[in-house]
Amino acid sequence: MLAKFSSAIARAVVLGLLATAGAPAPSAIAERARPSPRVDVPFEPTPHAVVDAMLRLAKVGPDDVVIDLGSGDGRIPIAAARAYGATAMGVDLDPGLIRQARETAERRGVAGKVSFVEGDLFGVDIGKATVVTLFLSPEANRRLRPRLLDLAPGTRIVSHEHDMGRWQPDRTAAGRSLGGHRLLAWVVPAKVDGVWRLRVGEREVDVRLRQSYQQLDGSAVIDGREHPIRNGRLAGAEVSLDLPLGSGSWHPLRGQVTPTGELRGDGWDARRQ
């Protein structure tokens, strides 16, 4: 994959200025030279077989919008469009790699479905993505994590090699078929942390949910007593938890976070308090 950014241009500019006759003091150079973009990771292309495995792990299809952050020579967005029919965009700071990616997309016949943006991957708008692909660094992934968690529930994230720190992956892939490479995948969870009034049939209980990424715990007040919830989990907008609603038995609740922010399943629903 993908992109990573090179500091060669910045070094050439500084060396050229120093080589000129009567070169000014370093402080003057710093004032006159345009600041170079921060280099997060060097360019290291992802093998094509791993590119395909990333897109399969994300279950990319024709309705998806794939955004590759640090897109390098553009191979992931181009493959997403060519092999899976997706609309795709690559983002990279290196103008040479952006130019190369656009030329390759033109040659491969997918220029109408793929775009490439020269820009900062930490600032570009990724709000339309349904899939985000990464081959960056542990530090860059952690910096991106808050932005990724703000994407629509159900958005799929796939990273080549690097994790997201405390946000544990939902799926991983590795092994001989990937030549020793490791892939990690996440589904952006809905945000449900807080107090809810939950109704099951004619019964209503207050539930306090505590969310840590896709994991849920918390408690429910039932018949005046506080009980812990069990097996709480989110998978995008899908929510599941177990409550002790009668005679010592645990009642499984499975449902969805609706577009209006309610929880709703078969025979139950919940609204924020």
CB 71 within 8 Å of CB 45: no
Range of the domain at 215: 194-272
Q: Is 40 part of a structural domain of the chain?
A: no
Q: Is residue 58 domain-shared with residue 154, that is, in the same domain? A: yes
Q: At 3, is the pLDDT very low, low, confident or very high (cuts 50, 70, 90)?
A: very low
Spell out a b/e string for 203-230, using b for 16 or more CB atoms within 10 Å of the CB, else e: eebebbbebebbebbbbbebeeeebebe
Residue 268: CB atoms within 10 A of its CB come to 18
pTM for this predicted structure: 0.82
Q: At 46, is the pLDDT very low, low, confident or very high (cuts 50, 70, 90)?
A: very high
Q: Is 6 part of a structural domain of the chain?
A: no
Q: Is residue 213 domain-shared with residue 183, that is, in the same domain? A: no
Residue 170 is predicted with a pLDDT of 97
Kindly state the helix (H) or strand (E) to which residue 271 belongs, with its residue range: strand 268-272
The predicted-structure confidence for 90-111, as pLDDT tens digits, reads as follows 999 999 999 999 999 999 999 9
The amino acid at residue 181 is H
Give the end of a domain, one of 137, 154, 187.
187
Q: Is 32 part of a structural domain of the chain?
A: no
Number of structural domains (the chain) is 2
The predicted-structure confidence for 215-232, as pLDDT tens digits, reads as follows 999 999 988 889 999 999
